[in-house]
Amino acid sequence: MQDSAQDRKSVFSNETLVPIMPELIEQTGLSTGFLADLALKTVYSGSDCTSERVAENLKLPLGISENLMQHLYREKYIDIRERSGVQRNRYAMLDRGWDRVQRLLSLSGYIGPSPITLDDYTAGMRWMNVHAEKVEPENISGAYSHLVLSDQQLRILGLIVESRRSLFLTGPPGSGKTSAAVALHDALKGEIWIPYAIEIDGQVIRVFDPHIHHPVSPPEGRYDKRWIKIKRPMVIVGGELTLESMDLIYAGNLNYYEAPFQVKANGGLLVIDDFGRQRVEPHDLLNRWIIPLENRVDYLTLHTGKKIEVPFELLLVFATNLNIKDFVDQAFLRRMGYRLGFTTPSADVYSLIFQRYLAYRELDYDSSFLYRLFARYEHEKREMKACEPRDLVERCLDICRYENLPRRITVDILDRAWNYYFGLENQRIDA
């Protein structure tokens, strides 16, 4: 099993840029027994089991799938109920197969696409990192066209995306840190391949998550369908982050693993938002990230206690509004790729943000809007925040939708949006 990558020479084709389809069971890197057990559980889970359906569910070529089914047939776990031609059969469970499945499910409840080996996953992620498309300045300017940033900030963000180094974002609440972090995802070019699942020592780790991974149209031609092509993923975690959530999640009732969020973010963007406000000490959390940041590998633990090494090929962003000197030591900061600070906007920057967001939402701009807003900021002695132009415009649109008004902003609607957003302080609302 450990020689699968060498036997196939490469996980991906340098010519077609797709995962190479295995032609033989040995080329999958998995044992016949493991795949036969997975095929038997597939028959068990389906009411109408044909050769084609088993191959589709296992994501294996029909020839390999049918060899597994014939093995199960010879072992008297299944029966052939109908023959429709070469490698075209309809199967059903036998009593011996039912007994076998119950034992298998007590060991692993995983039923789904055939996994790939950990070696192939590592090789595949490294290959994709080497073959990633180069990021150009226009990719950065396009991704940040809806935000107002300085040329220096854009250059730093471009360096981050191209180098895939980490970023520490600091600044007061509402200064645009999260928006800037999320926009990095739009600057990441191309799509990636991820496996549905990974096998290690007979255990299965499920990687594909439909809530995070968004498939794109598959390419034409033959390729290893145990991999699925997706948009580069983006994962955002905040105050709910714990040390336990960064390790393998063992589903005791199903007897297989769920990959942690940083594995699901591989090839894409991971944002640790509100850093320093988690339920775990910041120092402990930082220590957990040191090895991945320095070596681009992470170590996860099976419930048996065995440690496994997985690639850490992602763009990692920390965002905080706390003073980093209070909880971050220099040893950690040395391992960070870049640091970028955000501040409260000036009146000119606020104006640009407001006008640009109106254009983004395809709304007309009137200079009286800004006069009115600046007057209210001054009257109420409020500090401007970079997030507020967007928030006020969105609340204006909420009013228009709810009251069936034309989709446009007026000073009256803007005033109401201000009151609803900041609260009707010291005002009585009549019943």
Q: Look at domain 31-112 and name its CATH class.
A: mainly alpha
Give the integer Cα–Cα distance in Å for 46 and 54: 9
Give the integer Cα–Cα distance in Å for 13 and 236: 32
Residue indicated by tokens 């909880």: 327
18, 184, 269 from 229: Cα distances, Å: 9, 20, 16
Q: What's the helix, strand, coil split of the chain in %, to 5?
A: 45, 15, 40
What would the two tokens of residue 112 be? 């789904």
Q: What integer pLDDT is reported at residue 89 of this predicted model?
A: 86
Q: What integer pLDDT is reported at residue 427 of this predicted model?
A: 47
User: Which CATH code, of 3.30.930.10, 3.40.50.720, 3.40.50.150, 3.40.50.300, is assigned to 118-341?
Assistant: 3.40.50.300
Low-confidence ranges of the chain (pLDDT < 70): 1-9, 85-87, 327-329, 331, 424-431
Task: Using a cut of 0.85, tell me whether the model's pTM lies above it.
Answer: yes
Q: What integer pLDDT is reported at residue 9 of this predicted model?
A: 56
Among residues 161, 170, 119, the alpha carbon closest in space to that of 142 is found at 161
Contact 387, 179 (CB under 8 A): yes
